[in-house]
Amino acid sequence: MNFPTSPAFFPWKPAAWLRVTGSDAPGFLQGQFTNDLRDILPNRAVYGLWLNVKGRVIADSFVIRGEAPNELWVGSYFSAAGTIRERLESFVVADDVVVEDATSDWSAVTLLGEGMAALAQAARGGFVFPGRRGSGDGTEWVFPATETAAVQMRIAGVREAEHAEMARRRIEAGIPAVPADVGPGDLPNEGGLEDAAISYTKGCYLGQEVIARLKSMGQVRRRLWRVTGPGAEIPRLPAALFLGARQVGELRSAVGDGAGGLVGMAMLSLLQVDGNAMLALAPDAAPMVRLLAQP
């Protein structure tokens, strides 16, 4: 897929933007998050996951250091604030940790293209960090909703990217949306998140024993694949995928590819499907869904 090369912005509203404070907050989050937060730097977000005890993916987020001592922010594109807050608070016992849901008070834009990050870095307020929208130089700028008009003035005249373009960028890069592509029934490694979201050296966190066993085993039985097919009409998702009469997985997300077809992300059985398989959306139907090489 080819994408416009001109600078662009994409306005979005965080699904979660939580403020976590208290003297125990840094250590508490370190013991819950799949990635290492010990060396977190200003304007550098650490991406990772929140798992259940069985190692399944409850939510994903960025964790960012705030300006106040022992202040951290937890933000996500798609994982709901209530889900993450409930997950965290269920493990606060005698810890000095306070989780506040500030989602409604914050807005954001993704900045795409050379030089665009400077627009945010030159402004005061909010958080600026590399995002996970696709390959390339995307920058996230999250700011108080009260500053929306001022931000709009700074990006006036820049092309606004459409939602479909952003979805295509994400799928092209093989980046799953959590929980649509990888959720509570899935392991991080099944979604290809082991490199981006997991530290194998940080020590204990909830679900860590399962992840350690997966690493030692070296393989999973299912995997998220990029797929493509003809026709821009998106089926109701998730949509079952078949090899002959047997269901071998499901299409989790999809978007028109801009050329009359569709691209998407599908969770598939590695025991029944290889990279050359052609799949169908109904039992014994004509196969139309083709697997794409992993990025």
Reported as a single tens digit per residue, the pLDDT across 250-289 is 999 999 998 899 999 999 999 999 888 899 999 999 999 9
pLDDT at site 295: 65
CA 39 to chain centre: 21
* 21, two tokens: 């404070």
C-beta neighbour count of 96 within 10 angstroms: 13
E-strand spans in the chain? Answer: 8-12, 16-21, 46-51, 57-65, 72-76, 98-101, 106-112, 127-130, 139-144, 159-160, 222-230, 239-243, 246-256, 261-269, 278-279, 289-291
pLDDT at site 157: 93
8 Å CB contact between 16 and 84: yes
For 252, residues 6+ apart whose C-beta sits below 8 A from its C-beta are 176, 180, 181, 224, 237, 238, 264, 265, 266, 267
State the Rg of the chain over Cα.
Answer: 20
Give the three-class secondary structure for 65.
Answer: strand
Domain 221-295 in this protein, CATH class: mainly beta
- Over residues 15-54, the pLDDT tens digits come to 999 999 999 999 999 999 999 999 887 767 999 999 999 9
Confidence band (pLDDT; 50, 70, 90) for 215?
confident
Report pTM: 0.94
Mean pLDDT within 204-225: 90
Q: Which of 31, 161, 17 is nearest to 92 (CA)?
A: 31
C-alpha–C-alpha distance, residues 195 and 189, integer Å: 9
Does the pLDDT at position 219 exceed 90? no
pLDDT at site 176: 97
Mean pLDDT within 134-153: 91
C-beta neighbour count of 207 within 10 angstroms: 23
With a pLDDT cut of 90, the percent of the chain lying above it is: 80
With a pLDDT cut of 70, the percent of the chain lying above it is: 97
Does the pLDDT at position 107 exceed 80? yes
pLDDT at site 1: 66
Does the pLDDT at position 69 exceed 80? yes
CATH number of 8-169: 3.30.1360.120
* 39, two tokens: 């060396």
Residue 135: half-sphere exposure toward Cβ, Cα within 13 Å: 8
Task: Compute φ and ψ for 101, nearest 5 degrees.
Answer: -90, 105
Which one-letter DSSP state was computed for residue 221? Answer: S
Mean pLDDT within 167-190: 96
Q: Where do the domains of the chain lie?
A: 8-169, 221-295
8 Å CB contact between 175 and 132: yes
| Residue that wins the pLDDT comparison between 134 and 42 | 134
| Residue that wins the pLDDT comparison between 232 and 14 | 14
